[in-house]
Amino acid sequence: MSNFNDISALLEAFCQKGPPGCGCALAKDGKILYECYHGLANVEDRVPMTEDTVFRLFSMTKLIVCSAALIQFERGRFLLNEPLYEYFPEYRSHRLVKIQPNGGIVFEEAKNPMLIKHAFSMAVGLPHFFEQSPSAAAMKEARGKLEPGKFTLRQEIAAMAEVPIAFEPGTHFLYGYGHDLVAGLVELTSGKSIGAFLKDEIFDPLEMNSTGYRFRGNLKERMSPVYQRNKDGSLGRNPANFDADYQGEAVYEGGGTGLFSTVRDYLSFTQMLANGGEHKGRRIIGRKTIDLMRRNQLNEVQLRDFANSYNAGYGYGLGVRTMMDPAAGNSNSSIGEFGWTGAAGTWTSIDPSEGFSAVYMHQTMPNMEEYHHLRFRAAVYGSLR
């Protein structure tokens, strides 16, 4: 590996105009090569960013949940081409939203079933409930009928079965609710909550002691608030309440979001994936299953749905972006490098061809992902000999 001064200088520069603090770690073949933290985790109390800082993962929860589900897949608990209704009977039929030329909306019966692989690859036609579309509005309405703070993932999944979907399953890519269905599948096939399954199969074996769905010990005090850059360049706390489901009395555990972690904990998880699914001699998931996970699942139409400047060069696998064309992505990473991003600025890249993984985290919304993550990607892959 080369000198890491450039990475450190880059993160220091990030903290001047972007997040108040950030951290990163790089590892190869099971060994940490470099780890650094800059700026503040808590601006008001002048708490520095350190290896103990806890971050909300938001959508980087997805990578862990999809890995858990693929553990069940390789145990024969389900097949990817099976209809979801074989496990969730309420998903046997679906209404399809059709927008007319005059702007009116009609509903038709969908012709195709949702398959399990559609849930992994975001092809079920269910967006996030906070977006702007007829399907999203129906999701928000359905969720609003559940008892606030008291409903479980399985209850939410049942409620979403009544929502009209945006397209025939499997025909488009639409980032949204798919991985919550994946988490529900883990619960159904294992007989455990998704949180218990993750603890037993991933967190405990990987010694991820600061990762989970619920606060315990001093985790609440160690968590960085979410900040935002105001128009005048000043920093302020994002006013949204992101932490209701972390409290001890909460019951909901999501598949698309909901976990918290540290840089070092998440690095342990990514190193397991980068090195064939093993950790300290214990197999967590199979090497060939990881290869399947990072194989593009999208057709040409879906790739156009997925495409933007941040995702350039990438396709989408079973819950992860996967590098297909480094030249198109203006990237010095490898073909088959994979990972994902979280809404508050967390990011990971995993490269099995190098046994290498990198984790970067900050807590800012908007997350300024394209500016920070793509520069960090260039710097970390530039450090490989």
* Domain annotation covers residue 252: yes
Task: Look at residues 50, 68, 61, 59 and name the one whose alpha carbon lies nearest to residue 263.
Answer: 50
Do 218 and 367 share a structural domain?
Answer: yes
Buried-exposed string 274-284: b where 16+ CB fall within 10 A, e elsewhere: bbbbbbeeeeb
Which residues face 22 on adjacent strands? 38
220 and 181 share one domain: no
Shared-domain flag, residues 243 and 135: no
Tokens coding 244: 């209701």
Q: Which of 126, 157, 190 is at the close of a domain?
A: 190
Q: Same domain for 311 and 214? A: yes
The one-digit pLDDT tens for each residue of the chain (385 residues) are: 457 999 999 999 999 999 999 999 999 999 999 999 999 999 999 999 999 999 999 999 999 999 999 999 999 999 999 999 999 999 999 999 988 888 788 889 999 999 999 999 999 999 998 888 999 999 999 999 999 889 999 999 999 999 999 999 999 999 999 999 999 999 999 999 999 999 999 999 999 999 999 999 999 999 999 999 988 889 999 999 999 999 999 999 999 999 999 999 999 999 999 999 999 999 999 999 999 999 999 999 999 999 999 999 999 999 999 999 999 999 999 999 999 999 999 999 999 999 999 999 999 999 999 999 999 999 999 999 8
Interior angle at CA 122, CA 257 and CA 324, nearest 5: 105
Cα–Cα distance, 347 to 23 (Å, whole number) = 11
**How far apart are alpha carbons 232 and 128 in whole angstroms?**
31
Number of domains in the chain: 2
218 and 186 share one domain:
no
Whether 197 is covered by a domain: the verdict is no
- The answer as to whether 294 is a domain residue is yes
Look at residue 47 and tell me if it is in a domain: yes
Please indicate, yes or no, whether residues 354 and 225 belong to a single structural domain of this protein. yes
Give domain status of residue 203, yes or no.
no
Check which CATH number belongs to the domain holding 357 and give it.
Answer: 3.40.710.10
Domain membership flag for residue 201: no
Query: Does residue 67 fall inside a structural domain?
Result: no
Q: What is the DSSP string of 148-211?
A: TTT--HHHHHHHHTTSPBSSSTTSS---BSHHHHHHHHHHHHHSS-HHHHHIIIIITTTT-TT-
Q: Is residue 200 part of a domain?
A: no
> Where in the sequence is the domain holding 181, given as residue range(s)?
73-190
DSSP 76-129: TS--TTSBGGGT-GGGS--EEEEE-TTS-EEEEE-SSPPBHHHHHTT-SS-B-T
Q: Count Cβ atoms within 10 A of the Cβ of residue 312 and give its class: 0-12 exposed, 13-18 middle, 19 or more buried.
A: middle
Q: Do 53 and 77 have their domain in common?
A: no
Q: Are residues 54 and 96 in the same domain?
A: no
Q: Give φ, ψ of 229 to 5 degrees.
A: -90, 125
Is the domain of 140 the same as that of 218? no
| Residue at 12: amino acid letter | E
Same domain (yes/no): 277, 347: yes
Based on the fold, state whether residues 144 and 239 are members of the same structural domain: no
